[in-house]
Structures are given as C-alpha cells and as structure tokens.
Structure 1
Amino acid sequence: MAQSMNDGMNGSMNTRTDARERSGQGVGGALVTLFDTVATWNERRRQRRALEALPDHLLQDIGLSRADAVTEADKPFWQG
C-alpha cells in the first residue's frame, strides 16, 4: 500500500515535460512555449557575446579563430 502511494506521488512530482509536448495544451502551453523560446534566444545571445569577448589565445584553445567568433556573434539571436 505504501509503495503504491509512493509510486503515485513520484509520478505527480515529475510532471516537467518538454515545451513541444505541452504546446497543444491551450493558452498555458502556448505561454510556456513562448517563454522557452525567448529564454533560448536570450541564452544564445549571451553565449555569442561571451564568445566574441574571449581573447585570441582562448579562442585558439577551443579551435576557433577571431573571424569564426565574429561570424558567430554577428548571427541574429533567433538563428541557431
């Protein structure tokens, strides 16, 4: 009995799913999808700015040239 209660509780505690799976769930799903998309765009922008700010010797350590970093940083935030 206790095991079945724990199984039920564990199932309800682990309800986070991918936004694409929730997108068909009305307005709430659409808002979650929108939030996830904006968060992805913001993270992409942040990472590109950080890459562009790296000094040349660190870019060389990860196998990129300054031109590679500038090319990546110049991409619009929505482009993957």
Structure 2
Amino acid sequence: MTQSMNGSMNTRTDAQERPGQGFGGVLVTLFDTVATWNERRRQRRALEALPDHLLHDIGLSRADAVTEADKPFWQG
C-alpha cells in the first residue's frame, strides 16, 4: 500500500509485488496442486483402511469409505 500526495491510501500494487504472478507463481500453484492431490490420496487410503467400528464412530459405512477411496485423486 502506498500513500498518495493527498493523503489517501492506494491499495493498487505493481504486477511484480502481487503474489502468484509470473513463472514463480505458476510453479507455486503447480506445487500446491500436486501437494493437495497427494494429501487427498493419502487421506482416502487411510479412510479405506479404517476398521468398521471406527468408521461407525465417525458416522460412515464401509460402502461410504470405499466410495470415497475410489474417487480419482483430482476430484474433490
């Protein structure tokens, strides 16, 4: 943020100051996406491996766990 001559605040920034811009921003976005996919895959495998009594404790059936685990990693 910068202050103009009349004392008002300017919230506009140059393109280089904005996060997520340029090649570096693309790499960060790509890394975040791959990390999200990996975490989603890991959590679905862990859910599928839970015994039935623990699934019941969290309000899921075996069929719910299998359905979730069968989703592709890119699908939220």
Structure 1 unaligned segments of length 5 or more: list them: 1-20
TM-score where L is the length of structure 1: 0.71
Structure 1 residue corresponding to 2:74, chosen from 68, 71, 78: 78
Q: Deviations over 1:8-33 (max 9, x none)?
A: xxxxxxxxxxxxx733x110000000
Structure 2 unaligned segments of length 5 or more: list them: 1-17
RMSD between aligned residues: 1.1
Structure 2 residue corresponding to 1:40, chosen from 17, 36, 40: 36
CA drift of 1:69 comes to: 0.0
The structure with more strand, counted as a fraction of residues: 2
Between the two proteins, what is the percent identity of the paired residues? 90
TM-score where L is the length of structure 2: 0.75
Correspondence 1:12-51 to 2 at 5 A: 22-23=19-20, 25-51=21-47
Letter in 1 for 2:19: R
- Structure 1 segments, 4+ long, off by >6 Å, are none
Select the structure of larger CA radius of gyration: 2
The structure with more helix, counted as a fraction of residues: 1
